[in-house]
Chain A
Amino acid sequence: MKKFLLRRAIYMVFTVWIITVIAFIVIQLPPGDYVTNMVTEMMASGTDDIDPAIIEQLRDQYGLNDPMHVQYLKWMRNIIVEGDFGYSLAFKRDARDLILERLPLTFVVTLSTVLFVWIVALPIGVFSAVRKYSLGDYIATFIGFIGLATPNFLFALILMYLSYKYGGRALIGLFSAEYVDAPWTMAKVFDLLKHLFIPMIIIGTSFTAGLIRTMRANLLDELNRPYVDAARAKGLSETRLLWKYPVRYALNPFVSTIGWALPGLVAGEVIVSIVLNLPTSGPVLFNALLEQDMYVASGFILVLSALTVIGTFISDVLLAILDPRIRLE
């Protein structure tokens, strides 16, 4: 076990390192850089001519004239030595502050969505398998597929419009206006929960369908195994039998995909957050990529990828614990 953990830890560091390189390079691939962007913005708004010498000067000022590997090494050094993720050219603030301010709510949204997906998908999946081809199975499957097929942003717009038209208020954001900048209190938490269910449902629906089908298929495989017949023959009650053995085996794919759920949900969250105006990392990352505010973009990608790698590691370990048949060697 120790050897396994050590080996995996080394892989992890290596993977994260590769991701930093890719993150840093890919962000700089599109034409131009932050200064081009700034000049475009200034010109589009009427500033007449901007002297090329001044543009060069701005590049120097922002450290964009160094060769890419020098920029990368500086960036990595500062992260490792000082925990400094660089400087947001667009916000004129530390990238780390921005990331730290946005990540917690991103996790609130993501984790509550994971919980929502599991709470909905597991029982329905089990039900669809046990009552195969029943009316309930068809209805659950149908709703699941609708959820999978509807684009998130469209679903978000429809829910927003319906809540405006019939509820009298469009549910935008994660907080009511009076709580946005307020310190954390029970009232603020309650206000958050009131707003949270909309993004939770929107992001969650597309994932539930997949999980329902996976659960159903896995469980159907297990239900015909001889050990189920054996247990039944020994007089175990149907419910206890179901939950004790086949469901436990069928859970394997759930556990092994915990790690993947994170990037999937964060990606799904970007568009929904833009539409619903949520203060999560999605819109900031998206804009940082558009504006080529590279330290913010690279920082977010680095943190999210590192968390994904760690998530995968945890799910592997959990899987090994859950299912003794899986060997670590």
Chain B
Amino acid sequence: MRRGFHVVVLMLLLTALFGVTASAQDMMYSESPMLSSMVDSGELPAVEERLPASPRVVEPFKEVGQYGGTMRVGFTGNNPGWGGMWYVTGWENLVSWAPDFSGVVPNIAESWEISDDVRSYTFHLREGMRWSDGEPFTADDIIFYIDDVLFNEELLVGGPSADWLPREGAEDFTAEKIDDYTVRFNFANPYGTFLLNLAQWNGRHITWFPKHYLTQFHADYNDAVDDIVAETDGVEDWVGLFNLRASGPTDDTNNYFNNLDRPLLFPWIPTSVLGGSTQMTMVRNPYYWKVDTEGNQLPYIDEVIGVSYQDNEARNLALANGDIDYIKDATGREFFFDALDSGAPLNMSLPLSDAANSNSIHFNRNAQDPVLAEIFSDINFRIGMSHAINREEVIEIVHFGQGSPAQVGPVEDSPLYNERLANQYVAYDVDLANQYLDMVVPDKDADGYRLRPDGERLSFVLTVVNELAWQASWVQVAELLIGYWDAVGVEVLLNAVSDDTFTEQRENNNLEATMFTGEGGAGLTAILDPRYYVPGELMGMYGNGWFYWYTNALEATQIEPPEDIKEIRVAYEQVGQQPSLEGQIEAMSDLLEVAADNFWVIGISRPAPGFQPYHQRLGNYPDEWVKGWVEGVEKITYPEQWYIKQ
């Protein structure tokens, strides 16, 4: 899948320039029997009237599916969206990823044109496309978002800010309606990676706000909005009310699972909220605007039930039992392979992680203790610490032998692969480690621990988050690391904390050393999520204060980066301004050389191959896929074309 990336890079370029669409003209449409009976009884218009003139055509992954059935999805916790329902039943943007992650393809937008200076993007929407309540979706909805949400000074008090909008020049961004189905975006600076950003979570807001429904909650449109505020629980002004009803701009998008009458563009829409019982339910959107290659309106599956579990083990057992069909982020590899062997009604898919590494280890150059900050800034210290790690042993003990020693860097078949960045300083060599550390902190005390230049023992805290399923192995890794570092005379203390405490510590810059994920491996993800290659990004905790300086947030935590760091940021901004993908890759490759020189973070291992169990009755689920946040996790598997085998 990833091997074809070079070829596909070209395809992506072509797609980006011309906006290819599949032809759907002159198609005969069919619909789910559940909907035909509603059409017969006059509750719904005919399928031809519900679909846009040219619907988005999705090619089924394996075969044309069957209509009907209820899919049961198990999630942990009390938040259906983040628990997994968002990735399966939501997430539709102007463009989407091709199923093999080879580039972007049209989605809500039927086609687009890009100006030569990549400042201006013109999107053509699908004529006749409708919200889930049957109202038309047009350019007005997008313009409503830009004019009345993004640029509304009460809704966004700090000026226009959105994940898809570059900070630089945000004020000068404009959008114009050409006609009902055409909008043009004009950016202040060249923005070559806009489409790639649009395919991700970052792009969600542009098509998120149904104007016909939301104007009643907007002070500019409804003079009597205060009456609604008064009779609504939990809000104090119209801004709160708007956020509650729209689930945005500042409120969490996934709150829409609590609001049953909000129109959506998604394959399934919620019909009950989670509360008294342990389930929430969803039903197919009769106005969903995608069809398969034979003209069958998607999704195939009629209903979705989200089952809330408080604990992973119960969820795993339920899946092995056959009580549910799907779970996001399965844990317990051995349990599921055993269950598979002993005849549980499961199939196994093998997702490829898009990550660069199982972990990244950060030494905070902005640490509050200036002596520590000085030591952490010395590359020889980091090289020494890296050579001290027995990666083979970590892989054996923590990852059951899955993975190979590596630093944090794009993977081999990414066009951004940098051999040095991926493999430098990975050898386990205690003598070499000591040599490097001796260059920085040569003196030792009576107990054999190294002394700082000020004569105190070199001792610092490694803060590790220990809360969610995907952080489960981190403390174990940290304990091994502390052992290796102890062997070279560096005293490190473990502090395992909750998510909240971790955020507090980051925001107050109380971190000394810490550990996090390893994003930026597959394909172009290093450009899209450069946190471990370009300092000053969120979660770049090797320079924790710099991010806050760049975002101008939390004044007390801000630390102005030195000039050389600022230059790297400027170079990164230019990556996104390159009009061609080749140009972007070339510019980013130069930056990755700089990252290799600087050795920002230490890595452990390439991520182990993933596993994804699902119920046998689920059809059209891919056997292999690229899994990661950038790809929309499950969304890249096109859940609207999954079906239940009858």
A-side residues, CB < 8 A to B, are: 30-32, 36-54, 57-58, 60-63, 87, 89-94, 97-98, 101-102, 157, 160-161, 164, 169-170, 172-173, 177, 180-181, 273-277, 279, 283-284, 286-287, 290-292
* Cβ–Cβ contact B157 & A54, under 8 A: yes
* Closest Cβ–Cβ distance, residue B90 to chain A (whole Å): 13
Alpha-carbon separation in the docked complex, A250 to B554 (Å): 64
Asked if B509 is at the interface (CB within 8 A of a chain A CB), the reply is: no
Alpha-carbon separation in the docked complex, A44 to B259 (Å): 23
Q: Which residues from chain A contact B244 at a C-beta distance below 8 Å? A: 92
* Cβ–Cβ contact B275 & A43, under 8 A: no
Asked if B419 is at the interface (CB within 8 A of a chain A CB), the reply is: no
Alpha-carbon separation in the docked complex, A4 to B476 (Å): 59
Select one of A32, A90, A173 contacting B278, CB under 8 A: A173
Q: Which residues from chain A contact B445 at a C-beta distance below 8 Å? A: none
* Cβ–Cβ contact A91 & B163, under 8 A: no
Lowest 6 CB-CB distances: which A-B pairs, in order? A101-B276, A87-B234, A51-B158, A61-B240, A274-B310, A92-B258
In the complex, per-residue mask of B62-75: 1 if CB is within 8 Å of any chain A CB, else 0: 00000000001000
Alpha-carbon separation in the docked complex, A287 to B202 (Å): 28
* Cβ–Cβ contact B237 & A274, under 8 A: no
Select one of B276, B317, B503 contacting A172, CB under 8 A: B317
Q: Which residues from chain A contact B547 at a C-beta distance below 8 Å? A: 49
* Cβ–Cβ contact B259 & A36, under 8 A: no
Alpha-carbon separation in the docked complex, A93 to B503 (Å): 27
* Cβ–Cβ contact A36 & B314, under 8 A: no
Size range of the chain B interface in the assembly: 35 or more
How many A-B contacts are there with CB distance less than 8 Å?
Answer: 160
If over half of B's interface residues share one DSSP class (helix, strand or loop), that class is named, otherwise mixed; here it is loop
* Closest Cβ–Cβ distance, residue B466 to chain A (whole Å): 13
Chain B residue at minimal CB-CB distance from A284: B78
Alpha-carbon separation in the docked complex, A170 to B255 (Å): 32
Q: Which residues from chain B contact A41 at a C-beta distance below 8 Å? A: 79, 82, 252, 499
Asked if B553 is at the interface (CB within 8 A of a chain A CB), the reply is: yes
Given contacts A31-B500, A91-B78, A102-B276, A177 and B72 within 8 Å (CB-CB):
yes
Q: Which residues from chain B contact A57 at a C-beta distance below 8 Å? A: 157, 239, 250
Select one of A47, A172, A173 contacting B163, CB under 8 A: A47
Asked if B320 is at the interface (CB within 8 A of a chain A CB), the reply is: yes
* Cβ–Cβ contact B629 & A46, under 8 A: yes
Given contacts A170-B317, A170-B318, A89 and B234 within 8 Å (CB-CB):
yes
Per the 8 Å Cβ criterion, residues 142-186 of B in contact with A are 156-158, 161, 163, 167
Alpha-carbon separation in the docked complex, A102 to B258 (Å): 18
Known: A48-B163, A51-B161, A157-B313. 10 other contacts (CB 8 A): A43-B538, A49-B161, A53-B157, A57-B157, A91-B78, A91-B275, A93-B273, A101-B275, A169-B321, A170-B320
* Closest Cβ–Cβ distance, residue B470 to chain A (whole Å): 10
Q: Which residues from chain B contact A181 at a C-beta distance below 8 Å? A: 272, 277, 279, 281
Given contacts A49-B551, A51-B161, A279-B277, A42 and B314 within 8 Å (CB-CB):
no
Q: Which residues from chain B contact A93 at a C-beta distance below 8 Å? A: 258, 273, 275
Q: Which residues from chain A contact B158 at a C-beta distance below 8 Å? A: 51, 53-54
* Closest Cβ–Cβ distance, residue B196 to chain A (whole Å): 14
Q: Which residues from chain B contact A160 at a C-beta distance below 8 Å? A: 313-314, 317
* Cβ–Cβ contact A180 & B499, under 8 A: no
* Closest Cβ–Cβ distance, residue A174 to chain B (whole Å): 9
Given contacts A36-B503, A274-B310, A49 and B234 within 8 Å (CB-CB):
no
Given contacts A41-B252, A45-B201, A60-B236, A172 and B78 within 8 Å (CB-CB):
no
Q: Which residues from chain B contact A177 at a C-beta distance below 8 Å? A: 72, 323
